[in-house]
C-alpha cells in the first residue's frame, strides 16, 4: 500500500517534470514502468494543471501591434509564404487601440531586431560610439549651449519643427502640437503608399518614465516623414514638461540630432506622432525620445532619456 | 469570442504544421496574448520579452507536427513551449551574468502597458486553488514553475530539505489538478442538466 502511494507520488513528479522539461533516459524508463500501474495519473491532466498555474501567474496580455506584425513577418519567412505589403497592413490585429482605427499599421517589418539584451547603445549598428559620447554627459556641447526653446535655432540646424501628434482617445493637443495634422486614417494611407519603410521597435531608455514603453517608429526616407507610436508612456503635464523626439543622422554631427518635435501623452498612454522634420535626414541611425521643458530644446541635456529605437 | 470558446472551436496546430498561412495567423491571434503574458512575466525586460515571443512562436511552428490532442489542449501545448523557452533564456542569462539577483524578472512590467485579458476558466480555478496553499508553498512552486529553478536550487535558496521541496511542489500541483477536475466535473454536470 505504502509502495503504491510512493509510486503514485513518483509518477506524479515525473509527469510534472515531463511537462516542464526533458526527462533523462532513466526518468523516461521509470515513467514507462509506472504509468500502466496508475492510469489515473495521466499526462494531460498534469500538464493542464501546470499550464493553468502558469497562466494564473502570468495572465495573457494583448500583443502590441508592432510585435504582432513582427511575428507574422517572421512566420511568413519561416514558412516561405510570399506576401505583399497589403497583406501585412490588412492583417487585423486584436489590439483594441488599433481596432478603433486610431493607430497606424506598420509596413513591412524588415530587420526585426535580435539583440535586445545588449542594450540600446550596443544595438545601434552605426555610430554607437559617437552616440555613447552624445548621451554621455561628460562629452557634449550642452554645457556650452544653454537650453533653449524650439523658437531658437540651434547652432547646427535651423529651428526644429513641431511634431504632429495624434493623441489617444482622451488626449488633447498640447503645446507645440499642430492641430491641422492629418488624421490617423490619412496617415495610415500615407504609410501604405510607402513600400520600403523602415520600422523599428521602441525600447526603454534610462529614464524610469520609459520603463514600460512599447510601440514602433516607421520612417520613409524618400518622403522624409514617418510616424512614431508609443504605448505605455506616462501622461505628461504640458505646462511643466513635454516629450521630444530626436533623429540621429549618420551624415550629421552626432552631437546635434535632428529635432523630431515635441508631443504630449494623455492618461491613456498611447500616442501616434507624425515625424516631419524640416531638416533632411539622410541616413537615420537611431530615434530617441527625451523629456524636456515645454516647447522642447535645441540641444538636450539627455538627463531624461525615455526611449530609443536603434537602427 | 473569448479564449476558452476559441480553444474548443477547432484545432489549429495540425494546419500550422502543414504551413497553412491562415492557420498560422489565427494561431498568433489565439495564442499571442498567452505567450506575451508569459514572456513578460518571465523576462527581465520588455525588450527581452519581445525577442522571446519571436523565439517561442518559432518553436511552436517547429513543434506543431508533434502536437497530440489526446495529451492535452493546444493552449497547454503552447503554454508549455513558451515556458520552456523562457526558462531556457532566464537560465542562460543567469549563467552569463553569474548574478541571479541582477536578472530576476522585472514583474513590475507585467501590468504596465496593455491590459491583461481575462483569465480562462482553468487559470481562474488554478489561481483559487493556489491561493489556498501556505504562502511558503506558493513561493516554492513559483520558484519552480515561474522562475525556473531546479529542486536542488530551491532547496539551497530556501534552506529546506530537497525532499520537502519536491513534496511541496507535487502536492501543490496535485491540489490544482483536483480543483480543475472537480470544477470541470461540476460544470459538465450543470451543462448536461440544462
pLDDT tens figures, A134-168: 444 333 332 222 222 233 333 334 333 345 454 43
Complex-level ipTM: 0.84
Q: What is the pLDDT of residue A150?
A: 33
Q: Which of A24, A90, A12 is nearest to A50 (CA)?
A: A12
pLDDT for res B74: 94
Interface-testing mutation among A19, A48, A65, A270, with chain B (most B C-beta atoms within 10 A): A48
* SS3 (DSSP) at A250: coil
| pLDDT band, residue B1 (cuts 50/70/90) | very low
Give the pLDDT band of residue B59 (cuts 50, 70, 90).
Answer: very high
- Between chains, do A61 and B116 touch, taking CB under 8 Å as contact? yes
Q: Which of A51, A95, A201 sits opposite B75 (nearest CB)?
A: A51
Closest CA to A308 of A206, A159, A209: A206
How many angstroms separate the first and last alpha carbons of chain A?
66
> Measured between beta carbons, which residues in chain B are less than 8 angstroms from residue A23?
none
Judge: B76–A51 Cβ closer than 8 Å, yes or no: yes
Query: From CA A274, how far away is CA A296, in angstroms rounded?
Result: 16
CA B23 – CA B14 distance, rounded (Å): 9
Give the pLDDT score at A183. Answer: 62
Q: Residue B111 corresponds to which cell in the numbers above?
A: 501590468
**Residue among B71, B115, B174 minimizing CB distance to A43:** B71
- Of the candidates B24, B37, B47, the beta carbon closest to that of A61 is on B37
The predicted model gives A81-89 an average pLDDT of 43
Q: Most B CBs within 10 Å: which of A54, A70, A95, A124, as the mutation test of the B interface? A: A54
Q: Please state, rounded to an integer, the average pLDDT across all residues of chain A.
A: 68
Listed range (A181-185, B90-94, B142-146) with the worst mean pLDDT:
A181-185
pLDDT value of residue A186? 57
B108 vs B179, higher pLDDT: B179
Instruction: Assess contact for A174 and A110: CB atoms under 8 A.
Output: no
CB atoms within 10 A of CB A134: 25
Question: Which of residues 55 through 94 in chain A touch B, CB cutoff 8 A?
Answer: 55-64, 67-68, 70-72, 74-76, 78-81, 91, 94
A106-115, A163-172, B49-58, B173-182: which range is least confident on average? A106-115
Residue A251's pLDDT band (cuts 50, 70, 90) = confident
Amino acid at each position: 500500500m505504502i509502495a503504491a502511494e510512493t509510486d503514485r507520488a513518483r509518477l506524479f513528479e515525473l509527469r510534472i517534470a515531463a511537462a516542464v522539461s526533458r526527462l533523462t533516459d532513466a526518468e523516461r524508463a521509470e515513467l514507462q514502468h509506472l504509468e500502466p500501474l496508475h492510469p489515473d495519473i495521466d499526462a494531460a491532466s498534469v500538464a493542464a494543471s501546470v499550464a493553468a498555474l502558469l497562466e494564473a501567474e502570468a495572465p495573457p496580455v494583448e500583443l502590441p501591434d508592432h510585435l504582432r506584425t513582427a511575428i507574422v513577418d517572421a512566420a511568413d519567412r519561416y514558412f516561405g509564404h510570399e506576401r505583399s505589403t497589403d497583406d501585412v497592413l490588412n492583417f487585423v490585429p486584436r489590439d483594441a487601440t488599433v481596432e478603433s482605427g486610431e493607430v497606424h499599421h506598420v509596413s513591412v517589418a524588415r530587420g526585426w531586431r535580435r539583440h535586445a539584451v545588449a542594450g540600446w547603445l550596443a544595438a545601434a549598428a552605426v555610430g554607437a560610439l559617437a552616440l555613447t559620447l552624445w548621451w554621455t554627459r561628460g562629452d557634449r556641447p550642452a554645457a556650452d549651449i544653454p537650453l533653449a526653446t524650439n523658437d531658437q535655432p540651434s547652432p547646427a540646424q535651423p529651428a526644429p519643427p513641431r511634431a504632429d501628434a495624434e493623441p489617444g482617445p482622451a488626449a488633447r493637443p498640447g503645446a507645440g502640437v499642430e492641430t491641422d495634422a492629418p488624421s490617423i486614417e490619412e496617415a495610415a494611407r500615407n504609410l501604405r503608399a510607402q513600400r520600403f519603410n523602415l520600422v523599428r521597435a521602441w525600447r526603454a531608455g534610462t529614464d524610469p518614465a520609459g520603463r514600460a514603453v512599447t510601440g514602433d517608429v516607421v520612417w520613409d526616407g524618400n518622403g522624409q516623414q514617418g510616424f512614431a507610436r508609443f504605448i505605455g508612456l506616462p501622461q505628461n503635464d504640458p505646462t511643466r514638461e513635454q516629450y521630444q523626439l530626436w533623429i540621429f543622422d549618420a551624415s550629421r554631427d552626432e552631437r546635434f540630432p535632428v529635432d523630431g518635435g515635441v508631443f504630449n501623452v494623455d492618461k491613456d498612454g498611447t500616442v501616434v506622432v507624425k515625424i516631419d522634420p524640416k531638416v533632411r535626414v539622410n541616413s537615420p541611425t537611431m530615434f530617441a525620445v527625451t523629456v524636456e521643458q515645454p516647447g522642447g530644446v535645441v540641444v538636450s541635456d539627455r538627463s531624461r532619456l525615455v526611449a530609443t529605437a536603434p537602427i | 469570442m473569448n479564449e476558452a470558446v476559441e480553444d474548443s472551436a477547432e484545432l489549429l496546430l495540425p494546419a500550422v504544421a502543414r504551413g497553412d498561412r491562415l492557420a498560422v495567423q489565427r494561431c498568433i491571434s489565439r495564442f499571442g496574448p498567452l505567450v506575451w503574458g508569459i514572456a513578460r512575466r518571465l523576462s527581465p525586460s520588455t525588450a527581452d520579452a519581445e525577442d522571446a515571443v519571436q523565439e517561442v512562436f518559432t518553436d511552436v511552428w517547429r513543434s506543431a507536427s508533434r502536437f497530440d490532442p489526446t495529451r492535452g489542449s493546444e493552449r497547454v501545448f503552447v503554454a508549455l513551449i513558451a515556458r520552456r523557452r523562457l526558462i531556457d533564456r532566464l537560465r542562460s542569462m543567469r549563467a552569463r551574468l553569474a548574478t541571479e539577483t541582477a536578472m530576476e524578472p522585472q514583474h513590475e512590467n507585467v501590468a504596465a502597458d496593455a491590459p491583461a485579458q481575462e483569465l480562462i476558466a482553468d487559470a481562474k480555478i488554478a489561481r483559487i486553488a493556489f491561493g489556498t496553499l501556505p504562502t511558503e508553498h506558493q513561493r516554492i512552486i513559483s520558484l519552480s514553475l515561474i522562475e525556473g529553478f531546479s529542486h536542488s536550487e530551491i532547496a539551497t535558496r530556501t534552506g529546506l530539505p530537497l525532499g520537502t521541496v519536491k513534496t511541496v511542489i507535487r502536492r501543490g500541483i496535485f491540489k490544482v489538478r483536483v480543483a480543475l477536475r472537480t470544477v470541470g466535473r461540476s460544470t459538465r454536470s450543470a451543462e448536461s442538466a440544462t
